[in-house]
Amino acid sequence: MEKAVAFHWRGFRERYGLVGSKCDHCGRYFFPPRKICPSCRRLGKTREHRFSGKGKIHSFTVVRSAPDGFEIYAPYIMAIVDLEEGARVVSQVVDCRPDEVDIGMPVESCFRKIREENKSGLILYGFKFRPAK
Amino acid sequence: MKRPKRDVAIIGIGSTNYGEHWSCGLKDMIAEAGLKALQDSGISGKDIELIIGGSMSSGMFVGQEHTGALFADYMGLNPKPAIRTEAACASSSVAMRVGYMAIASGLYDCVVVGGAEKMTDVYGSQATTALAGAMDRDSEAYFGLTFPGVYALIARRHMHRYGTTREQLAMVAVKNHLNAMHNPHAQYHIRITVDDVLKSPLVADPLRLLDCSPIADGAACVVLVPASKARKYSDTPVYIKASSQASDTLALFMRNDITVMNATVEAAKLAYQQARIQPKDLDLAEVHDCFTINEIVSCEDLQFCKKGDGGRMVEDGETEIGGRIPVNPSGGLKAKGHPVGATGAGQIVEIVEQLRGDAGGRQVAGAETGLAHNVGGSGSTAVVHILSRNKR
Amino acid sequence: MAVGIIGYGAYVPRWRIKSSSIAALWGSDPEKVGSMVGEKAVSSLDEDSATMAVEASKSALARAGINPQEIGAIYVGSESHPYVVKSTSSIVAEAIDATPELTAADLEFACKAGTAAIQMLMGLVDSGMVKYGLAVGSDTAQGRPGDELEYTAASGAAAFLIGSKNLLARIDDTYSYTTDTPDFWRREGEEFPRHGGRFTGEPAYFAHVLAATRGLLKKTRTTVDDYDYVVFHQPNFKFPLKAAKELGVPSEKVMPGMLVQKIGNTYSASSLLGLSSILDIAKSGQKILLTSFGSGAGSDSFSITVTSLLQKRRSAAVLLKDMIEDKEYIDYAHYLKFRKKLKGVKT
């Protein structure tokens, strides 16, 4: 179901720039950004943090049966990435074959198209990961 | 949670078969399961005071919200109050929880709980999209992750960390298909081999088609009364010894250890405490095998074995019907079917049939105590019920 | 005030298709076709002119070492902007964290939109209107199946940060030559461009490249001998070498910047990627002559002098030759899928 613009637009900053949060009170990093630190709650001091994009693969799969809007991209690799700061994300891994991916593989973020709403709708961009150069 | 003011018993059960019911809509299935449960309970419709029905996504599947009202209406129970519960694939076991609390608290004397899901009125990719609502839409589904994909991530890590093998995953499906041969409600009555599983098409590596529970339509329903009144209606009441629930992060990647479903761990601990039993006291369990990996992970988190030992457990036959702890004698979600909103209630129906001695060819001999384990999403909700033939 | 390049970045997609794979489909002789383009770079399904522009811009920022918030203007030039209406420049601005205090607009002038962007930024920087500006040439050019341009139409991006301090290379001067010469065009709503066949040579490419280069030499009172490297727009392998010969430029000065035989014609990125590859190797004090060409038609010519800062900053990002070598081949079927030429596929 196509969503109105605001639904996508409010996530541009975090999705284009891999921008999350850091709690200055306990030092934890979060992605997506959080206003409330789940460890510190009222004592927490969260602020914006732009992740370096460097990380390692924690687990991965190859999606072959795609949901709406992703059909043309199948098969695609999805992975949980341990970012070097300590937070985690789930994202696509590109520029490599499924048999080249393994747990522990170093990756770096890149800017790619996530999908198009449809032929006349918005083009949705965001971060993905590729093998670190 | 405090101790209940009074105990709760199940006096009636009803279920449709699970499968692709092209001729039935959501309303038809609710009526069928509801009517069967009422007839089985011997109770009159006018004695029912509250209806709680679970449905994960009647909105995205058939464009229908307000499913509580639907349950009451199509079971002929107006003007009684109705509540819809939603916890993704655990929707109807949460309905059980609410029904249990309604009676245990002393507020109600007769409650009908159930669940229904009509999944085949949308196309494949639309169903995949709807099911992805059980995950974190913004940070998981947005990037293309699917439900099988989430469980595949768990499987890959579990295999990496504990040496669980592809074959052990397949054995879960093989066992459950074998069990389902004796279940008239089941969607599939075909035996499969490990080889069949390993040759089936990949859905999200390493999970293949035969690792995944199927899209299905179905409804199931259960009638609850206070334990003290149960014998008035039924010669074979089944008593609820424990009803517990726990939560975890919506997104898989936000958990400390993705091979552990902490919601299951916590709900199980609470349930064993409430029922005052140990895992070894169970005669059988219906466990949430939405994907084969989850039966393995859940057996570990339910304390049937140590963490990492779940694969070996199924390989050694411990979870077969004649084994140490029979798991999914109904055929599980894999072979019985997984009409998501109905599944939790359906698990209760199976355990009641087992404890009554009515399970035919899949009967666990001498079954007295059973556990039902139902999960929402990738483990964001877990509900555990322990049922017993014995009041004490 | 001296104005020049404070950062530069290149992006070439990983995927390549060989001319022979294309020739096999149409029954052509792989030796003869493709104007000696051996293989070309193909953008993946999830890449477009915006994504490549972002990648190239990030490399440029790494080399410049500036805060992106200080960028005052961004211009992305392309003939394959992802939207017809909705600027690529604003997407790039958001992705590199340059928003919100800046001006931005998209440019189109076939393959010279990127160099036109550089000229605009030279003016903005020199006048003091902006501190830093970002010019990008980025394209995922489409070749009509069966047409000779199918062998050369390729994908790539190059980004240049323009400033007045800490220059890696000074832009000494620029000269442009523009006429209404419709050698290659694409109407709104049309998927593929059309071109004038052999008309694209002498009255188009050569007329403008030669005139612009000669104009620059005259304006700067230099000769081709004063330059260590010469970079031309590269629609194929033959044209730049022929232009060099006409101008008396020895081919050794042109060959280091020739990329078309390895990555194809990257349209708005073409001459700028050639410049990037020279900046990857040039020494302090060396001079580069760059002349672009955009169909329609026009050429922008530049005289550039490398500073001593370049060798310190260039390793802050991947060198173009390494990026070009990090490649993987695809067959024609995958090429059709990646370039979205398959009918009936859900977008």
Joined tokens for residue B79: 């003007």
Residue A80 sits at the chain B interface (C-beta within 8 Å) = yes
Which of B125, B153, B160 is closest, CB to CB, to A61?
B153
Which of A11, A59, A89 is closest, CB to CB, to B157?
A59
Residues in chain C: 347
Chain C positions in Cβ-Cβ contact with residue A116 (cut-off 8 Å): 347
Residues B82 and B158 in one domain: no
Helix (H, G, I), strand (E, B) or coil at B293: helix
Each residue's pLDDT tens digit, A17-75: 999 999 999 999 999 999 999 899 999 999 999 999 999 999 999 999 988 899 999 99
- For residue A117, what is the nearest residue in chain C, using CA coordinates? C347
Contact A113 C345 (CB under 8 A): no
Structural domains of chain C, ranges and CATH numbers in brackets: 4-168+317-338 (3.40.47.10), 169-306 (3.40.47.10)
Q: What are phi and psi of C58, to 5 degrees?
A: -65, -40
Amino acid symbol at A61: T
- The enclosing domain of B100 has a CATH number of 3.40.47.10
Is the dihedral angle over the CA atoms B267, B269, B275, B277 positive or is it negative? positive
Contact A72 C47 (CB under 8 A): no
Q: How many domains is chain B partitioned into structurally? A: 2
Residues B63 and B186 in one domain: no
Confidence of residue C143 (pLDDT cuts 50, 70, 90): confident
Q: Are C266 and C79 in contact (CB under 8 A)?
A: no
Cα gap C234→C153, rounded to integer Å: 11
Q: Give Cβ neighbours of residue A26 (< 8 Å, ≥ 6 apart).
A: A37, A39, A40, A44
Q: What are phi and psi of C187, to 5 degrees?
A: -80, 155
- Best probe of the C interface among A111, A117, A125, A133, by most C CBs < 10 A, is A111
The pLDDT of residue C34 is 58
B210-227 burial: b if 16+ Cβ within 10 Å, else e: bbbbbbbbbbbbbbbbbb
Cα gap B373→B246, rounded to integer Å: 12
Residues B320 and B230 in one domain: no
Bridge-based pairing of strands C328-329 and C15-18 is: parallel
Residues B264 and B320 in one domain: yes
Residues B41 and B109 in one domain: yes
Residues in chain A: 133
CB pairs under 8 A between A and B: 102
Chain A positions in Cβ-Cβ contact with residue C94 (cut-off 8 Å): 12-13, 16-17
- pLDDT lower than 70: segments of chain B: none
**Residues of B with catalytic annotation?**
89, 338
The pLDDT of residue A10 is 94
Each residue's pLDDT tens digit, C200-249: 999 999 999 999 999 999 999 999 999 999 999 999 999 999 999 999 99
Residue C329 sits at the chain A interface (C-beta within 8 Å) = no
Residue C96 has pLDDT above 90, yes or no: yes
Cα gap B356→B334, rounded to integer Å: 24
Which of C46, C337, C345 is closest, CB to CB, to A113?
C46
β-bridge partners, C153: C265
- Report the Cα B10 to chain-centroid distance in Å: 16
**A 10-29 residues with CB < 8 A to B:** 11, 15
Task: Note whether residue B128 is domain-resident.
Answer: no
Which of C46, C318, C346 is closest, CB to CB, to A71?
C346
- Percent of chain B scored above 70 by pLDDT? 100
The pLDDT of residue B115 is 97
Q: Give Cβ neighbours of residue B217 (< 8 Å, ≥ 6 apart).
A: B16, B18, B19, B20, B21, B24, B29, B117, B118, B119, B120, B339
Residues B231 and B247 in one domain: no
Confidence of residue C114 (pLDDT cuts 50, 70, 90): very high
Joined tokens for residue A92: 């696509």
Structure letter (DSSP) for residue B325: S
Give the residue-averaged pLDDT of C120-146: 95
Q: Please give the model's pTM, rounded to 2 decimal places.
A: 0.93
Cα gap B12→A126, rounded to integer Å: 52
SS3 content of chain A, % helix, strand, coil (to 5): 15, 40, 45
Which of C288, C273, C308, C171 has the alpha carbon at shortest distance from C228? Answer: C288
Chain B positions in Cβ-Cβ contact with residue A62 (cut-off 8 Å): 202, 204-205
The pLDDT of residue C4 is 98
Cα gap C303→B237, rounded to integer Å: 93
Joined tokens for residue A21: 């949060």
> Please, which chains are in contact with C (at least 3 CB pairs closer than 8 A)?
A
Task: Note whether residue B1 is domain-resident.
Answer: no
Residue C345 sits at the chain A interface (C-beta within 8 Å) = yes
The pLDDT of residue C27 is 86
Residue span of the structural domain in which B187 resides: 134-213+241-388
- Best probe of the A interface among B254, B255, B262, B291, by most A CBs < 10 A, is B254
Helix (H, G, I), strand (E, B) or coil at B144: coil
Give the residue-averaged pLDDT of C271-296: 98
Residue C33 has pLDDT above 70, yes or no: no
Contact A114 B144 (CB under 8 A): yes
Structural domains of chain A, ranges and CATH numbers in brackets: 5-16+53-131 (2.40.50)
The pLDDT of residue C35 is 64
Contact B144 A76 (CB under 8 A): yes
- For residue B141, what is the nearest residue in chain A, using CA coordinates? A67
Which of B350, B343, B352, B349 has the alpha carbon at shortest distance from B387? Answer: B352
Task: Give the C-alpha distances (Å, rounded to integers) separating B287 from B115, C69, C124, C345.
Answer: 17, 54, 68, 40
Residues B139 and B158 in one domain: yes
The pLDDT of residue A101 is 96
Structure letter (DSSP) for residue B291: B
Give the residue-averaged pLDDT of C264-269: 97
Cα gap C272→C202, rounded to integer Å: 22
**C 288-327 residues with CB < 8 A to A:** 318, 326
Residue C345 has pLDDT above 80, yes or no: no
A58-94 burial: b if 16+ Cβ within 10 Å, else e: bbbbbbbbbbbbbebbeebbbbbbbbebebbbbbbbb
> Please, which chains are in contact with B (at least 3 CB pairs closer than 8 A)?
A
Chain B positions in Cβ-Cβ contact with residue A64 (cut-off 8 Å): 201-205
- For residue B128, what is the nearest residue in chain A, using CA coordinates? A67
Task: Note whether residue B300 is domain-resident.
Answer: yes
Contact A118 C82 (CB under 8 A): no
Q: What are phi and psi of C102, to 5 degrees?
A: -165, 165
Helix (H, G, I), strand (E, B) or coil at B114: strand
Residue C79 has pLDDT above 90, yes or no: yes
Strand order through the sheet with A46-50: A29-30, A19-23, A46-50
